[in-house]
A and B are shown apart, each in its own frame.
Chain A
Amino acid sequence: MNIFVLLKRTFDTEEKIAIANGAINEEGAEFIINPYDEYAVEEAIQIRDQHGGEVTVVTVGNEEAEKQLRTALAMGADKAVLINTEEDVEVSDQFTTAKILAEYLKDKEADIILAGNVAIDNGSGQVGPRVADLLDIPYVTTITNLEISGETVTVVRDVEGDSETIETQLPVLVTAQQGLNEPRYPSLPGIMKAKKKPLEELEIDDLDLDEDDVEAKTKVVEIFLPPSKEAGRVLEGELNEQVQELVSLLHKEAKVI
């Protein structure tokens, strides 16, 4: 089984967010594997262990993403590929990223491609379905279970709390939802082994793409923080008085009741 995982290095949104020079300030921030991509990596490893084959983790980004790729290798992936766009791509969007990933994947004969259902920073949830469309393969989003039997793939899909059982065929792209599995932590031997596993670095030239082919279709014109709420009012006094005050505030001040 030829298994690929699309992995994004993301800002850890548990961290405080600040804006500097019109952009999110990344100075000193913590970066992680997008949590939904961790589920994808874990599932890929389990598929390989069950059906044989190889797991390749692919990321579009800059060389700082090597850290997250090494983590995926330490979890148990076999190979990693970094498509470094630092030099060539100035403005990018989901069109850009999907195009680059699809161009890389088009001659790889993937049996299954796993992605996260959404990245917690830019949060569009577009890249998985876009890549599948460019490769002309089916896709199923927000999956919580996956079984492969021969060429047939049966997945359970989370649809706003309802669940759908869907049948499709390899090759397919799926996007992971929380609940799919419990991602493992890299073990110490895993971390040692990861250092020797192949990590290939490519640029868009190597994919016969130039900047114009991947030019973004959208542009960010402004980034801002939500207007800081007046510090919330924590009520005081006897509990029954607080409750009375709350109901009165919701009625008279907030006017929501």
Chain B
Amino acid sequence: MGKKVTVLGEVRDGALRNVSFEGVAAARTIAEDGEVVAVLLGAEVKGLAEELIASGADRAVVVENEKLAEYTSDGFAQAFLAVIEQEQPDAIIAGHTALGKDLSPKIASKLGSGLISDAVKVEVEGGNVVFTRPIYSGKAFEKKIVTDGVIFATIRPNNIQPLGKDDARTGDVSELTVEIKDLRTIVREVAKKATQGVDLSEAKIIVAGGRGVKSEDGFKPLQELADLLGGAVGASRGACDAEYCDYSLQIGQTGKVVTPDLYIACGISGAIQHLAGMSNSKVIVAINKDPEANIFNVADYGIVGDLFEVVPMLVEEFKSLLVEA
């Protein structure tokens, strides 16, 4: 039997994050022949609804309110709960992003429901919606189902394939007016760190540097390689702590969790806290001068050598490949 699924679209700097389209795809799987309702919350977000419909949602519900210009747990919870109250969905999907991680447990608590966090796969098996999620810092996986109440999950970015966009798809976009009140937290200041270019959590190719990069300048060849491949630069905690780069580049348990098609780790030893953030990558390349480094245990391909020799050679080799192609 078809289900009604609401999926939260997440907006950053005026655009939808990719995880929103992945969420629509997950919702479609769960809905079967039911209905997928996209939800948008913010000060000015209505214009984005059609993109969610083109990506597979049947219709959209939008809550616009000045008080939603910035994310607060209280504000977004009031708005999202009002939509859930109106729609009475069988299932709810959000991204496992900073926003989704902060908001979803509160919504689940209000609904008295379960919540399956950080799912990397969604399947319908014998009438059950089964979510697969990494546990133990990514060293194992569990399959989980909801046994009571609404089905609710957050999905890890870059793991579920979005559906193709079809601009001919149409659907209703309705507005819901919600009074947002009693915000108990106030955002005083937002310091955006230099994250120009590709968003790490959505990047298809990541070139990451560790303490082995040795200096801020040491990141230059990595940046060159990333630019050449249309990817993004990331880092280990070691590199961030040594001030070779900004913490906003950090990948791992504390930093960003990424799942690119290609992850090139340069001068990174492969501590478990780093692996927790990248071991799900489709292809991993390790460049390290220590043949015993743990990173080789998760790598598909490895080169034992000095990254300052290897990375520039890689740049040249990729250049000639790209010229040929």
Contact = CB atoms under 8 A, between A and B. Distances in A.
Interface of A: 11, 13-14, 17, 19, 24, 93-95, 98, 118, 120-130, 132-134, 138-142, 154, 158-169, 177-179, 215-226, 229, 232-235, 239-240, 242-244, 246-247, 249-251, 254, 256-257
Contacts of A229: 298, 300
A95 to B, nearest CB: 6
Interface in B294-325: 296-305, 309-310, 313-314, 317-318, 321
Which of B74, B118, B147, B250 neighbours the largest number of chain A CB atoms within 10 Å of its CB? B147
A133 B144 CA distance: 24
A229 B189 CA distance: 45
Contact of A167 (B186, B303, B318): B186
Given A13-B139, A246-B314, 10 more contacts: A14-B272, A154-B188, A158-B247, A179-B247, A226-B138, A233-B301, A239-B303, A243-B303, A256-B205, A256-B262
25 contacts: A94-B115, A120-B137, A123-B136, A132-B106, A138-B74, A139-B73, A142-B98, A160-B98, A161-B250, A166-B186, A166-B188, A167-B185, A217-B113, A221-B145, A226-B138, A229-B298, A232-B297, A232-B302, A240-B313, A242-B303, A243-B313, A246-B301, A249-B301, A251-B321, A254-B301
Helix, strand, loop or mixed for chain B's interface? mixed
A39 to B, nearest CB: 10
Interface stretch (B39-47, B53-61, B164-172, B279-287): B279-287
Interface stretch (B27-35, B215-223, B253-261): B253-261
Contacts of A167: 185-186, 188
Interface of B: 73-74, 97-98, 101-102, 104-106, 108-110, 112-118, 128, 130, 134-149, 184-193, 195, 201, 205, 229, 237, 246-250, 253-256, 261-262, 272, 276, 279, 282-286, 291, 296-305, 309-310, 313-314, 317-318, 321
Which of B113, B140, B276, B291 neighbours the largest number of chain A CB atoms within 10 Å of its CB? B140
Given A24-B140, A124-B118, A250-B285, A160 B262 contact: no
Contacts of A141: 101-102
Contacts of A216: 114, 147
Contact of A165 (B189, B205, B284, B313): B189
Contacts of B188: 154, 165-167
B104 to A, nearest CB: 8
A168 B187 CA distance: 9
B303 A161 contact: no
A135 to B, nearest CB: 10
Helix, strand, loop or mixed for chain A's interface? mixed
A161 B189 contact: no
A178 B318 contact: no
Contacts of B262: 250, 254, 256-257
A217 B105 CA distance: 13
Which of A19, A129, A139, A158 neighbours the largest number of chain B CB atoms within 10 Å of its CB? A129
A65 to B, nearest CB: 18
What are the 7 closest A-B residue pairs judged by CB atoms, nearest first? A161-B248, A217-B114, A138-B184, A133-B109, A129-B105, A218-B114, A124-B117
A177 B261 CA distance: 28
A217 B106 CA distance: 15
A224 to B, nearest CB: 6
A257 B321 contact: yes
Given A123-B118, A162-B193, A17 B302 contact: no
Contact of B109 (A118, A130, A161, A178): A130
Given A125-B101, A225-B139, A239-B310, A98 B109 contact: yes
Given A164-B190, A165-B188, A219-B147, A126 B115 contact: yes
